[in-house]
Amino acid sequence: MINTDPKIIDGPIAGENLTSDTRNYPWHRPPDVTDYNEVVEAMIQDALQPKEMNRILALLSNEMTLASVVDYKVLSMLSKGKFSLDMGVLAAGPYARFIEILAKDAGIKVDMGIDGPEKVLTPDIVTALTGGEELGPYREPLRPTGDQEDLPTKSSPDKPEQSGFMTPPTGPASDEEQAEMLGADRNYNFEV
């Protein structure tokens, strides 16, 4: 008997799941590092990158707890398939201690965050990280300070005016220009 129902071919083919690529996500693959010492070493080396260290210290100096920072870091590296979940939890202690030592050396008072609830990244903390200014839909670019104030800026009269097709208009078009845009100077003859 021939089945003419077109819906039947929408389903997966038997055994199709066995043909799918299980390497789609890093956590589907074996972790990059499996040795405990190497996992801690990898986390320490990651933290020692200047950009990463600045980020960590900025978070800690803006009311973020050490436990939360470690939490984010472990999850971040876990999502990249660096190590397994169990190894990440085990390496959290040494990593926290390492960050604590460097933060103290930088003069930052560290809130461990072990006893209380986890602190999450709030808009206030993000605002603090961006220099204490509230984020809006548009921010004026940073203006030069000190001796650089005399440098020509966008509104400086010394700067030559730019003109071109893509230059934003400085005001409403003149009456003549508007009339031209509306086709006033063209004599169309629609008579047939």
Partner 1 sequence: MKFEEAIQKSIQNFYDGNIPKQLNEVTEGGIKYTPEWFEKFEEGIASGESVAEATEEADKK
Binding footprint of partner 1 on the chain (CB under 8 A): 35-37, 40-41, 48, 66-68, 70-71, 74-75, 89-90, 92-94, 96-98, 101-102, 105, 112-114, 118
Per-residue DSSP letter, 40 = H
- Give the shortest CB-105-to-partner 1 separation in angstroms: 5
- CB of 102 or CB of 128, closer to partner 1: 102
Question: Is the distance from CB of 102 to CB of 131 less than 8 angstroms?
Answer: no
Residue 128 CB: number of other CB atoms within 10 A?
Answer: 17
- CB of 109 or CB of 154, closer to partner 1: 109
- CB of 125 or CB of 127, closer to partner 1: 125
| Rounded Cα distance, 133 and 21, in Å | 46
- CB of 23 or CB of 51, closer to partner 1: 51
- Give the shortest CB-76-to-partner 1 separation in angstroms: 13
Q: Whose CA is closest to 106, among 65, 61, 136?
A: 61
Q: At what angle do helices 50-60 and 85-105 cross, to 10 degrees?
A: 80
- Give the shortest CB-93-to-partner 1 separation in angstroms: 2
3-state secondary structure string, 88-117? HHHHHHHHHHHHHHHHHHCCCCCCCCCCCC
- Give the shortest CB-123-to-partner 1 separation in angstroms: 20
